[in-house]
Amino acid sequence: MAKLKVKFACTDCGTESPKWLGKCPGCGAWNTMVEEKETVVKTQGMGSSIIQTKEKPRPIIHIESGQEPRIETRLQELNRVLGGGVVPGSLILVGGDPGIGKSTLLLQTSHALASKGLKVLYISGEESVRQTRLRADRLGALTDKLYVLCETNMDQVNEAIEAVAPDFLVIDSIQTVYDPSVQSAPGSVSQVRECTAHFMRVAKIKGIATVLVGHVTKEGAIAGPRLLEHMVDCVLYFEGERHHSYRLLRAVKNRFGSTNEIGIFEMGESGLREVSNPSELFLSERPLGVSGSTVVASMEGTRPVLVELQALVATTNFPSPRRMSTGIDHNRMALIIAVLEKRMGMFLQTQDAYLNVAGGVKLDEPAVDLAAAVSIASSFRDAPTRPFDVIFGEIGLTGEVRAVARAEQRVKEAYKLGFKRVIMPEKSLKGWSPPSGIEIIGVETVSDALKAALG
């Protein structure tokens, strides 16, 4: 008889233990150890013919070199995030909140690839084939090269892969697929780990570009063991507010491209629409002549994006003032406030300070420091900035303004959108010529920037 093994596994990191523990010894999370039962038995399931290979070790100098071939989709924003297109044989993990549009994005991608003559197999474990057809009707994603299957059994999935021989495979979602040889519930740590490992072998050996949809936890991380993100080639997060129409596609891991790129989409009745000029989107509702509002030129990978920064400084009666930020690191905000207090003499110890990046964008580069400092000072003094100013630069602890990378591209984006002045680091003006028609003000200290922006 097969031996029944009982163990406890962490739902966050996958750490296993023979007994239950209140605190996971791997990641330190509390109450994440769950009981799992699995039968240790050798089977011929899991589509053993698929994962066998006769590949032999070869000297590295005898292996052909060159660029990875890519399959471009019709969604240029997706191509940008992936690094130029889908790489055959790659394993991609896509995560996002429920209802954010993951299935819509992948169905549109599947239709785009099927329209180019590629065979696409879309396996849904959460929706029936009729529900998938209804979504395809709404999106206009109908083609005879797109095959749809509703199945969660791994053995049946393997048979479908053998029968269709697809070039592109979508599993929606990995938490619903189960391996019959593993005696644990679908979505458990063991099932998710084994199924992902199997799809990884299928993708590498058969050269099928595979996309796995992963659920996320309430903290926003992909559910299941952290091992999943190590196994796949690319991890994408589909982000955005459900009450807003725009969506951000961000790569946090990419073996075939950069992780600094973002793709911006807008959700509509007929699906996701690409946003080719995100700066206009983020500045469309910006108020003019209001204190605390500035525009910063940020870089998202190779793309310059103009975003509105909003600050609100208000008097508090509590001994400990509040410091809250959305879209910018809280520690970075505390550093900027400390520089304004020490170097500029602003008495902010009795003031609540709130900083927000309009549009839900997350800015993690130091070039937004100067704009954040000007926004806080503008709200504190109740002095509005000029409506057609763009500000960027890094702030040091001594109050100096440091140079930032790709200043020329930031200035050109501001000029293209009709801004009149750019306040930037003096040291970033070397080696290039700004376009005519826009005024460039180079500053060396925060004091110089406040004088130029607030007068």
Annotated binding residues for ATP, written as ranges, equal: 96-103
Question: Binding site membership: which residues?
Answer: 96-103
Q: Cβ(13)–Cβ(226) under 8 Å?
A: yes
Q: Tell me the CB-side half-sphere exposure of residue 252, using CA atoms within 13 A.
A: 16
| Among 332, 451, 334, 323, CA closest to 386 | 451
Q: Cβ(232)–Cβ(254) under 8 Å?
A: no
Distance of CA 450 to the CA centre of its chain: 34
In what order do the strands lie in the sheet containing 168-172?
A: 146-150, 120-124, 168-172, 209-214, 91-96, 234-239, 246-254, 262-268, 271-274
Task: Calculate the dihedral angle through the C-alpha atoms of 176, 263, 209, 257, rounding to the nearest 10 degrees.
Answer: -130
